[in-house]
Amino acid sequence: MIGERPLWDFPDGTLAGREVSAYLVSDALGWDIVPPTVLRDGPFGSGMVQLWVDGDPGVDLTRLVRADLPELRRMAVFDAVVNNADRKGGHLIPMPDGRVYGVDHGVCFATEDKLRTVLWRWAGDQLTEAAVDKLRALSGDLDGPLGERLGEHLTRREVRRVRLRVDRLIRLGRHPEPSGEWPAIPWPPF
């Protein structure tokens, strides 16, 4: 996509596909984390179009990222699945009704573990039963149509790694913890 800046640690030209893939995973989980996102052909080539959501500008993001909210806890699980390398405060969109959307998923789905997030509050905690149920269903979906659709935007290896991360989360039954090998928090964090 012409409007993309190259990133040193991700393959070129795939940011839009990663954004769409993040939406597909969010949609499959049924947690409504990523606003609807599609690939479109436009005057400057193929690109990503995402539904604009009108967040509540009055919410203090520095407080929000520390809040013990089920929405954020689900997002932490989602980020572990998609291997989000950039979940900063500014990528949260709190809605007037209390829901929280996540945006900017251009640096997800690396094959190596790169989880970088401000949502570490639940690190090491047991996953909720609801989350484990969702992950089990997702694991099945990845063997079917979801896996195929992700394959349109990601490499086969990247799709395989999604499945492996999901299965690892189910097996360990816990929220991931910072690895120590990679900065755990995005810079800048907001």
C-alpha span between 161 and 1 (Å, rounded): 24
Site for ligand ADP, residues 102 to 131, rule: CB under 6 A: 103-104, 106
Question: Which of 19/141 has CB closer to Mg ion?
Answer: 19
Which stretch, 68-76, 90-98, 136-144, 171-179, contacts ligand ADP (CB under 6 A)? 90-98
- Assign residue 127 a region (left: φ > 0; alpha: ψ between -120 and 50; beta: otherwise): beta
Q: Considering CB distances under 5 to 8 angstroms, the limit depending on partner class, which of ligand ADP, Mg ion, none binds residue 25?
A: none
Helix/strand/coil for 124: coil
Question: Which of 144/188 has CB closer to Mg ion?
Answer: 188
* C-alpha angle 174-61-180 in degrees, rounded to nearest 5: 40
90 touching ligand ADP, by CB under 6 A: yes
Question: Which of 106/176 has CB closer to ligand ADP?
Answer: 106
Question: Which of 85/138 has CB closer to Mg ion?
Answer: 85
C-alpha span between 20 and 150 (Å, rounded): 9
Interacting residue with ligand ADP among 10, 27, 35, 121 (CB under 6 A):
35
What tokens does 40 get? 């479109």
The single-letter code of the amino acid at 79 is D
- HEC per residue, 22-55: HHHHHHHHCCCCCCCEEEEEECCEEEEEECCCCC
Which stretch, 57-65, 69-77, 87-95, 123-131, contacts ligand ADP (CB under 6 A)? 87-95
Q: Which residue has the tokens 């394959």?
A: 151
Binding residues vs Mg ion (CB under 5 A): 104
Residues lying near ligand ADP in the complex (CB under 6 A) are found at 35, 50-53, 90-91, 93, 103-104, 106
